[in-house]
Amino acid sequence: MTVEVYRGIDELRSALASVRSAGRPIGLVPTMGALHRGHGSLISRSAAELRPENGLTVVSVFVNPIQFEDRTDLERYPRTLDADRRLCEEAGADIIFAPTAREIYPDGFSSFVDMEGEFTQKLCGRARPGHFRGVLTVVCKLFHIVGPTRAYFGEKDAQQLFLLKKMAYDLDMDIRIVGCPTVRETDGLALSSRNARLAPQERAAAGCLIRALKEGQSASEDRLPGTAGTARAERAASVRASLIAAVEGEPSARLDYAELLDAETFGPVTDETGRVLLAVAAFFGETRLIDNVIADVGSGGKRDESR
Pairing of strands 95-97, 253-262: unpaired
| Least distance between a second copy and beta carbon 205 (Å) | 38
Largest CA distance in the chain: 64
HSE, side-chain direction, 13 A CA sphere, residue 262: 16
Closest CA to 277 of 224, 251, 239: 239
Give the CB-side neighbour count of residue 140, counting CA atoms within 13 A.
Answer: 19
| CA-wise closest residue to 144 among 102, 93, 97 | 97
| Measured distance CA(158)–CA(293) in Å, rounded | 9
Q: Which is nearer to a second copy, 164 or 210 (CB)?
A: 164
Whether 39 is a known active-site residue: answer yes
SS3 state at 2: coil
Q: What value, to the nearest 5°, has the Cα angle with vertex 163 and ends 198 and 135?
A: 55
Cβ 105 to a second copy, closest distance in Å? 9
Are 22 and 15 in contact by the 8 Å Cβ rule? The answer is no
Least distance from a second copy to the Cβ atom of residue 159, Å: 14
Q: How far is the CB of 296 from a second copy (least distance, A)?
A: 23
In the complex with a second copy, the residue whose CB is nearer, 132 or 284, is 132
Look at residues 141, 149, 147, 151 and name the one whose alpha carbon lies nearest to residue 30: 151
Of the pair 13, 176, the CB lying nearest a second copy is at 13
Q: Which is nearer to a second copy, 108 or 300 (CB)?
A: 108
- For residue 114, the minimal CB distance to a second copy (Å) is 5
Task: Tell me the closest approach of the beta carbon of residue 237 to a second copy, in angstroms.
Answer: 25
**Per-residue CA distances from 262 to 10, 23, 165, 273 (Å):** 42, 38, 16, 6
Of 65 and 147, which CB lies nearer to a second copy in the complex structure?
147
Q: For residues 165 and 144, what is the distance between their CA atoms, to the nearest angstrom?
A: 16
The span from the CA of 139 to the CA of 113, in Å, is 9
Footprint on this chain of a second copy (rule: CB under 8 A): 9, 13, 21, 23, 108-117, 120, 136-137, 140-141, 144-145, 147, 166-167, 170-174
Catalytic center residues: 39
